[in-house]
Amino acid sequence: MNDCIFCKIAKREIPADVVFEDDNVLAFRDIHPQAPVHVLLIPRKHLVPTKGLAAEDARVVADIFQAAREVAEKEGVFESGYRLIANTGPDAGQEVEHLHFHLLGGKKLGALVPLQLN
Ligand code: DGP
Protein backbone atom coordinates (compact mmCIF):
# COMPACT_ATOMS: atom_id res chain seq x y z
CA MET A 1 0.00 0.00 0.00
CA ASN A 2 1.57 3.26 -1.15
CA ASP A 3 0.31 5.49 1.65
CA CYS A 4 0.48 3.02 4.54
CA ILE A 5 2.87 4.19 7.25
CA PHE A 6 3.58 0.63 8.44
CA CYS A 7 4.35 -0.53 4.87
CA LYS A 8 6.83 2.34 4.66
CA ILE A 9 8.42 1.25 7.95
CA ALA A 10 8.53 -2.38 6.72
CA LYS A 11 10.29 -1.23 3.54
CA ARG A 12 12.62 0.96 5.63
CA GLU A 13 11.46 4.04 3.74
CA ILE A 14 10.89 5.81 7.05
CA PRO A 15 12.91 5.18 10.21
CA ALA A 16 11.81 3.10 13.16
CA ASP A 17 13.50 1.54 16.17
CA VAL A 18 13.39 -2.06 14.95
CA VAL A 19 13.82 -4.73 17.63
CA PHE A 20 13.10 -7.85 15.55
CA GLU A 21 12.74 -8.78 11.90
CA ASP A 22 12.57 -11.82 9.70
CA ASP A 23 11.21 -12.52 6.23
CA ASN A 24 7.57 -12.07 7.24
CA VAL A 25 7.44 -10.02 10.45
CA LEU A 26 8.83 -6.72 11.69
CA ALA A 27 8.74 -5.43 15.29
CA PHE A 28 9.56 -1.85 16.25
CA ARG A 29 9.02 0.48 19.21
CA ASP A 30 5.77 2.44 19.28
CA ILE A 31 6.31 6.16 18.69
CA HIS A 32 4.01 6.95 21.65
CA PRO A 33 4.89 4.30 24.25
CA GLN A 34 2.19 3.45 26.79
CA ALA A 35 4.45 1.24 28.91
CA PRO A 36 8.20 0.78 29.52
CA VAL A 37 8.12 -1.86 26.78
CA HIS A 38 5.77 -1.01 23.90
CA VAL A 39 6.57 -2.75 20.64
CA LEU A 40 4.41 -3.09 17.53
CA LEU A 41 4.50 -6.35 15.57
CA ILE A 42 3.40 -6.28 11.94
CA PRO A 43 3.41 -8.55 8.92
CA ARG A 44 5.58 -7.16 6.12
CA LYS A 45 2.59 -7.76 3.85
CA HIS A 46 -0.20 -5.18 3.97
CA LEU A 47 -3.00 -7.12 5.65
CA VAL A 48 -6.20 -5.47 6.89
CA PRO A 49 -7.90 -7.75 9.43
CA THR A 50 -11.24 -5.96 9.27
CA LYS A 51 -11.41 -6.98 5.60
CA GLY A 52 -10.77 -10.62 6.57
CA LEU A 53 -7.61 -12.67 6.22
CA ALA A 54 -7.15 -15.22 3.46
CA ALA A 55 -6.22 -18.74 4.51
CA GLU A 56 -2.78 -18.20 2.92
CA ASP A 57 -2.21 -15.27 5.31
CA ALA A 58 -3.13 -17.14 8.48
CA ARG A 59 0.44 -18.40 8.89
CA VAL A 60 1.80 -14.91 9.46
CA VAL A 61 -0.41 -14.50 12.53
CA ALA A 62 1.32 -17.54 14.06
CA ASP A 63 4.66 -16.03 12.99
CA ILE A 64 3.74 -12.80 14.81
CA PHE A 65 2.96 -14.69 18.03
CA GLN A 66 6.29 -16.50 17.79
CA ALA A 67 8.08 -13.19 17.15
CA ALA A 68 6.25 -11.69 20.15
CA ARG A 69 7.72 -14.36 22.36
CA GLU A 70 11.22 -13.59 21.06
CA VAL A 71 10.70 -9.84 21.53
CA ALA A 72 9.37 -10.39 25.08
CA GLU A 73 12.47 -12.44 25.91
CA LYS A 74 14.82 -9.83 24.39
CA GLU A 75 13.05 -6.99 26.18
CA GLY A 76 13.15 -8.84 29.52
CA VAL A 77 9.39 -9.16 30.04
CA PHE A 78 8.82 -12.80 29.15
CA GLU A 79 8.95 -13.92 32.79
CA SER A 80 7.20 -10.87 34.27
CA GLY A 81 4.44 -11.02 31.66
CA TYR A 82 3.19 -8.91 28.81
CA ARG A 83 0.02 -8.01 26.96
CA LEU A 84 -0.51 -8.58 23.24
CA ILE A 85 -3.47 -6.66 21.83
CA ALA A 86 -4.91 -5.59 18.49
CA ASN A 87 -7.17 -2.55 18.39
CA THR A 88 -9.93 -2.93 15.84
CA GLY A 89 -12.21 -0.10 14.71
CA PRO A 90 -13.09 3.33 16.10
CA ASP A 91 -14.23 2.32 19.61
CA ALA A 92 -10.88 0.60 20.14
CA GLY A 93 -9.05 3.72 18.97
CA GLN A 94 -7.46 2.03 15.96
CA GLU A 95 -5.33 4.52 13.99
CA VAL A 96 -3.48 2.33 11.50
CA GLU A 97 -5.34 -0.24 9.38
CA HIS A 98 -2.30 -2.45 8.58
CA LEU A 99 -2.54 -5.51 10.87
CA HIS A 100 -0.51 -4.92 14.04
CA PHE A 101 -0.27 -6.17 17.58
CA HIS A 102 0.88 -4.06 20.53
CA LEU A 103 3.25 -5.85 22.91
CA LEU A 104 3.11 -4.03 26.25
CA GLY A 105 5.03 -4.81 29.41
CA GLY A 106 7.60 -3.72 31.95
CA LYS A 107 5.06 -2.67 34.59
CA LYS A 108 1.79 -3.86 36.13
CA LEU A 109 -0.59 -3.10 33.27
CA GLY A 110 -3.79 -3.02 35.33
CA ALA A 111 -7.27 -3.44 33.92
CA LEU A 112 -7.62 -4.25 30.25
CA VAL A 113 -10.26 -1.55 29.92
CA PRO A 114 -9.72 1.44 32.27
CA LEU A 115 -12.79 1.95 34.48
CA GLN A 116 -13.18 5.63 33.53
CA LEU A 117 -13.88 4.61 29.93
CA ASN A 118 -16.88 2.45 30.89
P1 DGP B 1 -3.57 1.55 16.84
O2 DGP B 1 -4.34 2.54 17.66
O3 DGP B 1 -3.75 0.17 17.38
O4 DGP B 1 -3.87 1.67 15.37
O5 DGP B 1 -2.05 1.91 17.08
C6 DGP B 1 -1.19 2.46 16.15
C7 DGP B 1 0.09 2.76 16.88
O8 DGP B 1 1.07 3.07 15.93
C9 DGP B 1 0.02 3.94 17.85
O10 DGP B 1 0.26 3.48 19.18
C11 DGP B 1 1.13 4.88 17.41
C12 DGP B 1 1.95 4.01 16.47
N13 DGP B 1 2.51 4.74 15.35
C14 DGP B 1 1.83 5.48 14.45
N15 DGP B 1 2.68 5.99 13.52
C16 DGP B 1 3.91 5.54 13.86
C17 DGP B 1 5.20 5.71 13.29
O18 DGP B 1 5.39 6.39 12.28
N19 DGP B 1 6.23 5.10 13.93
C20 DGP B 1 6.06 4.33 15.03
N21 DGP B 1 7.15 3.77 15.58
N22 DGP B 1 4.86 4.13 15.60
C23 DGP B 1 3.80 4.74 15.02
Q: Which residues line ligand 1 (CB under 6 A)?
A: 5, 16, 28-32, 40, 87, 93-96
Q: Write down the pTM of the prediction.
A: 0.95
Query: Domain ranges in the chain?
Result: 5-105
Give residue 38 CA to ligand 1 midpoint distance, Å: 10
C-alpha distance from residue 116 to each of 24, 83, 111, 112, 113 (Å): 38, 20, 11, 12, 9
Residue to mutate (ligand 1; options 95, 98, 102; most atoms within 8 A of CB): 95
- pLDDT by residue (tens digit) across 5-19? 999 999 999 999 999
CATH homologous superfamily of 5-105 equals: HIT-like (3.30.428.10)
- Residues 83-99: what's their mean pLDDT? 94
- pLDDT by residue (tens digit) across 33-85? 999 999 999 999 999 988 888 999 989 999 999 999 999 999 999 999 999 99
100 is catalytic: yes
C-alpha distance from residue 61 to each of 11, 24, 53, 104, 105 (Å): 19, 10, 10, 18, 20
